């Protein structure tokens, strides 16, 4: 059976552009265009332990997500998914610099007709985050409940320490909270803003919980030795850095992720970002980014931006090999390097640039990215190395020797006083992959049209349609393995 009649539901939702809706100056919480939450109302400081809890704030979110994935080549397995659920979180007030936060999340796929059978869950693409594949395969349970956030915070002056389960938004790590449950980490974060116009952060994470998991797991190891769905099984994971390969090499399957970043805005119009990431004894990277806003007058601004990432092999290359697909790992016996110049390396680089033009409700951008012809970029923490530049929905364009050009336009019709609460984005990307690396599992060249339509129906209630149309070439070995159409519809209610 095909997924729910999304077109009719979606059109009806977008048609609800109520002129009776009156925007609050500062709603308690609101959704960004990527459906992540911005919290405007936060607890303050109090003078007693009892007030620390009584003056805390509860936050709620109800959400629904539906997906349909239509491959051009039917043998790939058309798939669909549907999830309902939400979250309830609580943040205490701050007493003597100490505060706490917890977040409980739930997702369920209750309707048998709107979900793939347990035998076919491996074919589910974007919709896999509405359930846990491991739980379905082992217990038949399509629901997830998880305490994804649980932390204590201590702040003194402009420095704070957060310990426990938490969201950490950075170049390498993101919550990517666009489905049902966010990507979170377990560990410690230290942040300071003591220096003028500068934010410096350091994170030490011992575990990660991906969006479709109910337990925390290793930050980089693929598979747990028994199931490929019970460790880091992110779509961008390096499958050569597996439990089997680490064990074979006599290495630990328990790793930490260290992230240190800094942002400076001392020079008017210029934002400087630097990020260092490290998984000890496996891989590290350092990334620099510059964005400079130029006032063109008449309300226009032009912002050139550049980002450069240098990835360094710290021992992972000789275990997992150069490709994310794992086809060059020590457990494989390929006849050659499958298009890669060096089988056992993770040394690589990634460069990109963009121009962003803004005026009022309009934002237009062109961008380009290119990956070095050494190894694929390792980043299975939902940060997306090309994000904000050339990445399109559900695409991974950081394989070695990949070149991507992209253009996008965003327009806020509500801000322009044309359609209350409505905004639209269109992105077109041209991806040039290295045909020689298709033997390793890299996809064929493709062009992608990605469209987002978002409508705020009432205060707190938002609907969004996402469409991705991918037109790819045939693989060198024959067959169109990479063309598909993808459709998503979601509802969010914040309270």
Assign domain 6-490 to its CATH architecture: Beta Barrel (2.40)
Largest CA distance in the chain: 70
Is pLDDT at 302 greater than 70 in this prediction? yes
Instruction: Output the pTM of the full model.
Output: 0.93
C-beta separation of 278 from 314 below 8 A: yes
Neighbouring residues of 495: CB distance < 8 A, sequence distance ≥ 6: 28, 59, 60, 61, 62, 460
**Of the listed ranges 6-15, 99-108, 163-172, 220-229, the one predicted with least confidence:** 6-15
Is pLDDT at 40 greater than 80 in this prediction? yes
Q: What percent of the chain has pLDDT over 90?
A: 93
By CB neighbour count within 10 A (0-12 exposed, 13-18 middle, 19+ buried), where does 74 fall?
exposed
b (16+ CB within 10 A) / e for 430-440: bbebbeebbbb
Residue 70: beta bridge partners?
A: 485
**Of the listed ranges 15-19, 172-176, 392-396, the one predicted with least confidence:** 15-19
pLDDT tens-place string over residues 456-472? 999 899 999 999 999 99
Neighbouring residues of 322: CB distance < 8 A, sequence distance ≥ 6: 328, 337, 340, 342, 343, 344, 345, 346, 374, 375, 376, 400
Residue 306: beta bridge partners?
A: 290, 353
b (16+ CB within 10 A) / e for 276-307: bbbbeebbbbebebebebeeeeeeeeebebeb
Residue 149 to residue 103: CA distance in whole angstroms: 5
Phi/psi class of residue 188: alpha, beta or left (left: φ > 0; alpha: ψ in -120 to 50)?
beta
**Of the listed ranges 34-48, 159-173, 208-222, 425-439, the one predicted with least confidence:** 34-48
Is pLDDT at 198 greater than 70 in this prediction? yes
C-beta separation of 88 from 59 below 8 A: yes
Kindly indicate the confidence band of residue 9, based on its pLDDT and cuts at 50, 70 and 90. Answer: very low
Is pLDDT at 11 greater than 60 in this prediction? no
| pLDDT at 169 (0 to 100) | 97
pLDDT tens-place string over residues 237-287? 999 999 999 999 999 999 999 999 999 999 999 999 999 999 999 999 999
Strand pairing category for 94-95 and 45-46? parallel
Is pLDDT at 15 greater than 70 in this prediction? no
Nearest Cα residue to 36 out of 468, 494, 400, 396: 494
Neighbouring residues of 97: CB distance < 8 A, sequence distance ≥ 6: 154, 155, 156
Kindly indicate the confidence band of residue 25, based on its pLDDT and cuts at 50, 70 and 90. Answer: low
C-beta separation of 53 from 102 below 8 A: no
| pLDDT at 26 (0 to 100) | 79
Interval 129-156 mean pLDDT = 98
| pLDDT at 289 (0 to 100) | 98
- Cα 310 to the chain's mean position, in Å? 21
Nearest Cα residue to 427 out of 399, 455, 394, 400: 394
Residue 341 to residue 322: CA distance in whole angstroms: 9
Residue 462 to residue 491: CA distance in whole angstroms: 6
pLDDT tens-place string over residues 320-368? 999 999 999 999 999 999 999 999 999 999 999 999 999 999 999 999 9
C-beta separation of 457 from 472 below 8 A: no
Cα dihedral value 42, 47, 48, 50, nearest 10: -30
Please state, rounded to an integer, the average pLDDT across all residues of the chain: 94
**Long-range contact set of residues 22-29: C-beta below 8 Å, sequence gap at least 24:** 22/459, 23/459, 24/459, 27/459, 27/460, 27/494, 28/59, 28/494, 28/495, 29/59, 29/494
Residue 92 to residue 312: CA distance in whole angstroms: 41
C-beta separation of 230 from 243 below 8 A: no
| pLDDT at 140 (0 to 100) | 96
Is pLDDT at 480 greater than 50 in this prediction? yes
By CB neighbour count within 10 A (0-12 exposed, 13-18 middle, 19+ buried), where does 245 fall?
buried
């Amino acid at each position: 059976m095909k997924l729910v009649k999304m077109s009719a539901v979606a059109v009806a939702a977008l048609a609800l552009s109520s002129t009776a809706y009156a925007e609050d100056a500062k709603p308690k919480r609101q959704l960004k265009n990527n459906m992540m939450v911005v919290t405007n109302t936060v607890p303050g400081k109090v003078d007693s332990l009892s007030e620390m809890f009584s003056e805390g704030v509860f936050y709620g979110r109800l959400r629904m997500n539906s997906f349909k994935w239509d491959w051009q080549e039917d043998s790939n397995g058309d798939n669909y998914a549907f999830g309902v659920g939400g979250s309830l979180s609580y943040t205490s007030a701050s007493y003597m610099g100490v505060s706490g936060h917890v977040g409980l999340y739930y997702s369920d796929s209750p309707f048998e007709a709107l979900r793939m059978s347990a035998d076919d869950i491996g074919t589910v693409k974007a919709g896999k985050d509405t359930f846990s594949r491991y739980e379905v395969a082992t217990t038949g349970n399509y629901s997830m409940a998880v305490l994804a956030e649980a932390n204590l915070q201590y702040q003194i002056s402009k420095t704070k320490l957060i310990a426990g389960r938490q969201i950490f938004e950075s170049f390498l790590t993101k919550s990517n909270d666009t489905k049902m449950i966010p990507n979170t980490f377990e560990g410690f974060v230290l942040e300071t803003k003591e220096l003028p116009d500068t934010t410096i952060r350091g994170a030490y994470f011992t575990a990660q919980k991906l969006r479709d998991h109910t337990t925390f797991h290793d930050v980089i190891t693929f598979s747990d030795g028994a199931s490929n769905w019970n460790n880091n099984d992110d779509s961008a994971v390096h499958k050569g850095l597996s439990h089997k390969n680490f064990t074979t090499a006599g290495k630990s399957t328990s790793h930490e992720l260290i992230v240190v970043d800094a942002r400076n805005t001392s020079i008017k119009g210029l934002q400087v970002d630097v990020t260092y990431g490290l998984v000890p004894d496996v891989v590290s990277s350092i990334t620099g980014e510059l964005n400079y806003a130029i006032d063109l007058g008449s309300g226009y601004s032009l912002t050139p931006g550049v980002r450069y990432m240098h990835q360094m092999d710290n021992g992972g290359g000789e275990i997992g090999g150069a490709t994310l697909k794992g086809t060059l790992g020590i457990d494989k016996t390929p006849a050659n390097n499958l298009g890669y110049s060096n089988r056992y390396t993770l040394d690589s680089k990634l460069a990109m640039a963009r121009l962003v033009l803004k005026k009022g409700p309009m934002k237009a951008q062109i961008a380009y990215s290119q990956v070095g012809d050494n190894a694929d970029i390792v980043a299975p923490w939902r940060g997306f190395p090309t994000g904000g530049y050339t990445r399109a929905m559900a695409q991974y364009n950081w394989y070695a020797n990949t070149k991507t050009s992209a253009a996008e336009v965003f327009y806020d019709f509500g801000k322009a006083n044309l359609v209350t609460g409505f905004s639209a984005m269109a992105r077109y990307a041209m991806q040039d992959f290295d045909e020689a690396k298709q033997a390793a599992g890299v996809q064929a060249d493709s062009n992608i049209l990605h469209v987002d339509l978002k409508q705020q129906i009432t205060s707190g209630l938002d609907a969004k349609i996402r469409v991705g149309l991918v037109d790819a070439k045939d693989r060198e070995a024959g067959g169109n393995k990479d063309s598909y159409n993808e459709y998503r519809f979601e509802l969010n209610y914040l309270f």
